[in-house]
Structure 1
Amino acid sequence: MASVKPKKHLGQHFLKDQNIALKIVEALKNECNLPVFEIGPGTGVLTKYLLQKEGAEFYALDVDTESIDFLKDNYTKHSDQFQLQDYLKYDVPFDQFNVIGNFPYNISSQLFFKIWDDRSKVDEVVCMIQKEVAERICAPHGNKTYGILSVLLQAFYDIEYLFSVSPGVFNPPPKVQSAVIRLKRNSVKQLSCDEKLFKRVVKAGFGKRRKTLRNALKDLNLSDTVVAMEVLNQRAEQLSVQEFISLTEKIS
């Protein structure tokens, strides 16, 4: 197979720049030598360098048959490491692992929610995503871009914005700027509140982000004591991760 054609419906924009590809791969520290899963390998621009890394087990997952066939044809010795799998529906068979990839932009948010669901397993993530999404995930409270993923991910990960990437290094060039970020699991094993309720509170708060939390959280059937709390006079973007945790403790 000569090439892989980028497919619009899969949100594919294939990285062409080898230097950037190498920077992304080198950004994955993997100090614990855990298995590494690449999401959406496409033409294998990251895959080539990931296969050169010694020690850790490596697998590439893609929903694009053409991509998986291409990688198997070009890296025949590693064909069993390329799997036709949708990470969003995949139960990774390891207790702990790392994630890397040039995430398809149309499902990047879904991928991060899956990573949050797998937070007890996913130790480190290095990925290229839309710059706007990267800035949102890294944003501190009080920032207008601070949102659901900011709170959920920052509760369990230390997050770094590594560098920006221009559209010209992709085929086809996306209409947006891109960025590479790294997430490293922090020392929090479990929140001091109900984690499912925490997610509900965060999503509800930002679901009506222009309203005060008192209005945004109405559907959670808050007690009169909670409704009277001063913190509910604020909007979701004004609360830190710890304040969301404390609020959830009082609601439960």
Structure 2
Amino acid sequence: MPILRITIGTPEEARHPTALKAALAEFISVLIFVFAGQGSGMAFNKLTDDGSTTPAGLVSASLAHGFGLYVAVAVGANISGGHVNPAVTFGAFLGGNITLLRGILYWIAQLLGSVVACLLLKFATGGLETTPFSLSSSVTVWNALVFEIVMTFGLVYTVYATAIDPKKGNLGIIAPLAIGLVVGANILAGGAFDGASMNPAVSFGPAVVSWTWDNHWVYWVGPLLGGGIAALVYDGVFIGFGTHEQLPTTDY
């Protein structure tokens, strides 16, 4: 079981320059991602006089978040692994791919990156508020919770398949693109219902800056559950303790 491989880490590790550089990389990646995603929504609202709930607004959000995440993962991959998401970090921890203390460093950096991005957007736009995640009318917290669990499951499963799996081979080259695409697709599916966060940090920044916390727990519990389930399924079934390396194509 992958959960048997989880490790706490040591205080020395948390203070090591490599870990601190990785946390800084996560901070910058999340800042890039949230600034692009939230900024595109604010720009669309300005251009359409708050018409973000239109189908065009949904497509705009999907493209901005997909492109932004692609870049954010790519620029952080060689330094921190390009998590850009507390749910991804949690999934990596459950699979034994990151220690608890290093994961906490990542979480702090990710949340700060989101808050700073939203503050910069508020300042750069002359005081416009960033939009907190919220549920659409007739959508209950349980509906939204299922959406967040399923969408984040797909996201973290993709991360495991393209970036974490030791057998990924050349597939790792397209990991940032695959991760960006699955987020963009999930926004098209769930954006009209609960905003399609899939990322507690993305939800946290706008909530802090606007100080709006309605149903905020959904955007933590859902992604963490979905990410954790994806990690346990992929690591337990497809990686496991004794998983062999795939034979080269010349051998069969």
Question: Under TM normalisation by the shorter chain, which class is it?
Answer: under 0.3
Q: Mark the structure with the bigger radius of gyration.
A: 1
- The TM-score with structure 1 as length reference comes to 0.23
More strand by share: 1
More helix by share: 2
- The TM-score with structure 2 as length reference comes to 0.23
